Amino acid sequence: MKKIHTLLCSAALSVATAFSPAIADEFPDRPIELVVPFGAGGTTDVFARAFSRVISKYLPNEQRTVVINKPGGAATIGISVVANADPDGYTLGFLPGGVLELQPHYGRTSWTAEDFEPVIAFLEIPAALNVLDSSPIKTYEQWLEFTARNPGKFTYTTPGGTGSGTHLSMEQVAEAAGVEIRHIPFEGHAQGQSAMLSGQVMGSYSLPDLHNGGEVRPLVFLTKVKPNHPAYDNIPLSSEVGIDIAASYPMGIIAPKGTPKDRLKVIHDAFKAAMEDPDIVEYYRTTGLPKIYEGPEEYGEGIKQRSEAYRKTLEKLGMI
């Protein structure tokens, strides 16, 4: 009897061992949620949906992703959903990194950037100091001369509002240039754009729209990259006009802390492969948004560095 019991236990163990790898390899066996901390229709949401349309070709079991919009709280509501999710790979954040790097410094979140696993970054959002195409200010040098002669007169808006990464970048530029300019906050990019077009503000720091036939003309790109479109071929980067500032706004995917490494690799590999999908390549081309690739280590290190730089700027401005 004892022998039979031993044989049965051995058989059960063998079966369990045989099936363990198969169970691990089944990830994902249901749809993965991509939490976008903004409303539908914005750049982040549209890009997440573009990936969702093709990702089943690259995920095991032809699984798909579902975009979940969780706007509000300066994007902290959506990130909180990811922070509080089970670390099983089925809930991911799809977002530009600035929110993750900045908001914890205000002490309003229960999480910090260290509470997440960086997975992959695949897009760099360019941003420029802009004026209307009809503005008499045509170059960065003319803007510098105008602002030096007229302290506080140049008004501008940013898509993120007061204390956002874009606002802090402009504060850094003003300090470096030794000029005084005035930030006018609006709820979002569309509202700020309307304010600029109607003359309520003189400029903006955001993605210009000349490549879409718009009226917002950049004077200088304050980011490391600019849109892939001939409309911007003659527009300088900050490094080309003597500004020692190059902002970076990568868009990527994060997961809750503690998500298994093998599942993170599955997700990373699928999205990296999808970057070369013809539909995604075409989307990069039509939007003009620069494609980048940062793996988990590089993406994570960038998040840490930018978070520390934001902290220093906020302390200098007396905002924290």
pLDDT tens, per residue, the chain with 320 residues: 444 444 444 444 444 444 333 344 589 999 999 999 988 887 889 999 999 999 999 999 999 999 999 988 878 899 999 999 999 999 999 998 888 999 999 998 999 999 999 999 999 999 999 999 999 999 999 999 999 999 999 999 987 778 888 888 898 889 888 999 999 987 667 788 888 989 999 999 988 888 888 899 999 999 989 998 999 999 999 989 988 888 889 999 999 999 999 999 999 999 999 999 999 999 998 888 999 999 999 999 999 999 998 898 899 888 88
Token couple for 100? 């993750």
CA end-to-end span of the chain: 73
For 130-156, what is each residue's pLDDT tens digit? 999 999 999 999 999 999 999 999 999
Instruction: Find out whether 128 and 219 touch, Cβ atoms under 8 Å.
Output: yes
CATH among 3.30.70.270, 3.10.50.40, 3.40.50.360, 3.40.190.150 for 29-124+250-317: 3.40.190.150
Residues contacting residue 53 through CB under 8 Å, at least 6 positions apart:
279
What pLDDT is stored for residue 116 in this prediction? 97
What pLDDT is stored for residue 191 in this prediction? 82
3-state helix/strand/coil string of the chain: CHHHHHHHHHHHHHHHHHHHHHHHHCCCCCCEEEEECCCCCCHHHHHHHHHHHHHHHCCHHHCCEEEEECCCCCCHHHHHHHHCCCCCCCEEEEEECHHHHHHHHHCCCCCCHHHEEEEEEEEECCCEEEEECCCCCCCHHHHHHHHHHCCCCCEEECCCCCCCHHHHHHHHHHHHHCCCCEECCCCCHHHHHHHHHCCCCCEEEECCCHHHCCCEEEEEECECCCCCCHHHCCCCEHHHCCCCCCECCEEEEEEECCCCHHHHHHHHHHHHHHCCCHHHHHHHHHHCCCEEEECHHHHHHHHHHHHHHHHHHHHHHCCC
What pLDDT is stored for residue 280 in this prediction? 95
What pLDDT is stored for residue 187 in this prediction? 65
What pLDDT is stored for residue 9 in this prediction? 44
What pLDDT is stored for residue 25 in this prediction? 58
Token couple for 272? 């990296």
Pairwise CA distance, residues 144 & 217, whole Å: 16
Pairwise CA distance, residues 116 & 48, whole Å: 19
What pLDDT is stored for residue 43 in this prediction? 81
Pairwise CA distance, residues 160 & 125, whole Å: 13
CATH code 3.40.190.150 region(s) in the chain: 29-124+250-317
User: Cα 230 to the chain's mean position, in Å?
Assistant: 24
Token couple for 310? 């934001």
What pLDDT is stored for residue 41 in this prediction? 81
What pLDDT is stored for residue 20 in this prediction? 37
In this structure, which topology does domain 128-240 adopt according to CATH? D-Maltodextrin-Binding Protein; domain 2 (3.40.190)
For 38-48, what is each residue's pLDDT tens digit? 888 878 899 99
Pairwise CA distance, residues 104 & 165, whole Å: 12
User: For the CA atoms of 266, 268, 272, 278, what is the dihedral angle to 10 degrees?
Assistant: 60
User: Cα 223 to the chain's mean position, in Å?
Assistant: 13
